[in-house]
Structure 1
Amino acid sequence: MKEKIKITATELFLNLGFKSVTMDDIANEMGISKKTIYTHFSNKTDLVNEVTSSLFCIISEGIDLISAAQKNSIEELYEIKRFVMEHLKDEKSSPQYQLQKYYPKIYSTLKKKQYDVMQDCVKDNLLRGVNSGVYRDSINIDFISRIYFNGVIGIKDNELFPLKEFSMNTIMEYFLEYHIRGICTAKGLETLQKFITTNQSL
């Protein structure tokens, strides 16, 4: 039952927002009593914490699998973006922004874990990209990996990028192209153009 509650809560939180969804909403959606939920979770904060931790693990494992495939570095970034968007329901409810605003302690812990995972993933992507000739060999990998993380976090600021003006999927597309163009070689630019053209025609 605990796992079923987490699955339902995850769907509701991602589609409607961490603040908007109440324990009553989750109970009604599942056709159970609120008391049943409280048997497994002491309060909403406890549930939010478990949901975000589970999501983090699922996404981290998925990113590891994509990275292990050792694809072209540029293609890999787009593949990771697609995977993350799929699991976060295109971030229609600005989950990261809502966490930061209403559950700051959970957000802070999650951000630290995200940073650790992304640093390894992005550094590996950059190094392979340099070695394969799609990224410039003059880039500072440590700096670029940090600025990339900062950018990914920054574009999810709902005040800077309101969802009514920018869908999260569109922003991520813009950001990825911006990131790659800043570090790629002529060979990398050619790869990027082909990839963008192919995806636009799908």
Structure 2
Amino acid sequence: MDKANFSSAYRKELRTKIREVAMQHFLAKGIRAVKMDDIANALSISKRTLYELYDNKEDLLLEVLKEAEESRHNRISAFAEQVDNNVMEIIFELYRMHAEAYDNVNPLFYQELKKYPKVTNYLDEKDTVDENLTQAFFNLGIEQGYFRKEIDFAIVAKMMRECVRYAIYNTDFTTVKFDYLFTNVIFLFFRGFCTDKGIEAVNRMCDK
């Protein structure tokens, strides 16, 4: 490997390590409490080296969020293939994914996301994309006989998202476990738009 290629490979690997360490720090402490110095020190690199790769903490945070979203997307896509796109299986896998993440995160992380304009814009854009994906998902659930076709899923999806977002961003809910949120908020919507076949599938999966 020539010097230029080695330098490029090293920088790419270092960027990956920086994102991994940054994510660990952000999730554990919240965003504002983490300094670029903390990340540099954890990796035993100079702050100058860190700033050569990431101009500021917000740019780093944005890259961390995009990478995490890509990882979640890849995981659920692979799972969907394994279960032949069964919407009920996918929903419970999504629940497991979010439960794993939510209960191990400092609530400050979610509450402080909205303080960063680039991150807010990214999340708003992602919401728009998610709305289209959610509608396609609901349509698939109708085809499979699990969801009621007379429901306005655009409204349901928006209400579910806003309820969860309120719980995540509101300090009154900082001690609430994801299981509790799912049972008392999401699960109520979920059972409401299921057909009898869908409710039977829910009951079976809850009994596992």
Above 0.5 in TM-score? yes
Report the Cα distance in structure 2 between the residues aligned to 1:154 and 1:188, rounded to whole angstroms. 27
- 3-state SS, counterpart of residue 169 of structure 2: coil
1:32 is displaced (CA, Å) by 2.2
Q: TM-score, normalised by structure 2?
A: 0.79
Count of residue pairs the alignment pairs up: 193
From 45, 52, 60, the equivalent of 2:58 is 45
From 11, 15, 21, the equivalent of 1:2 is 15
Q: Which runs of 5+ in 1 are unaligned?
A: none
Q: TM-score, normalised by structure 1?
A: 0.81
- Go from structure 1 to structure 2 and tell me whether the alpha carbon gap of 1:49 and 1:58 turns closer, same or farther (over 3 Å shift): same
- Go from structure 1 to structure 2 and tell me whether the alpha carbon gap of 1:142 and 1:70 turns closer, same or farther (over 3 Å shift): farther
Report the Cα distance in structure 2 between the residues aligned to 1:107 and 1:154, rounded to whole angstroms. 18
Matched, 1:97 2:111: yes
Q: Greater Rg, structure 1 or structure 2?
A: 2
- Go from structure 1 to structure 2 and tell me whether the alpha carbon gap of 1:127 and 1:134 turns closer, same or farther (over 3 Å shift): same
- 3-state SS, counterpart of residue 62 of structure 2: helix
Aligned to 1:119: 131
1:8 is displaced (CA, Å) by 0.8
Aligned to 2:9: none
Report the Cα distance in structure 2 between the residues aligned to 1:190 and 1:74, rounded to whole angstroms. 10
Report the Cα distance in structure 2 between the residues aligned to 1:51 and 1:40, rounded to whole angstroms. 13
Aligned to 1:109: 121
Aligned to 1:13: 26
1:5 is displaced (CA, Å) by 0.8
- Go from structure 1 to structure 2 and tell me whether the alpha carbon gap of 1:110 and 1:120 turns closer, same or farther (over 3 Å shift): same
Report the Cα distance in structure 2 between the residues aligned to 1:132 and 1:125, rounded to whole angstroms. 11
Q: Please tell me the residue identity of whatever aligns with 1:194.
A: R
Aligned to 1:77: 91
CA contact (8 A) 2:62 2:119 kept: no
1:91 is displaced (CA, Å) by 5.2
Judge which range, 57-66 or 122-131, deviates more. Answer: 57-66
Cα RMSD (Å): 2.3
Paired-residue identity, %: 25
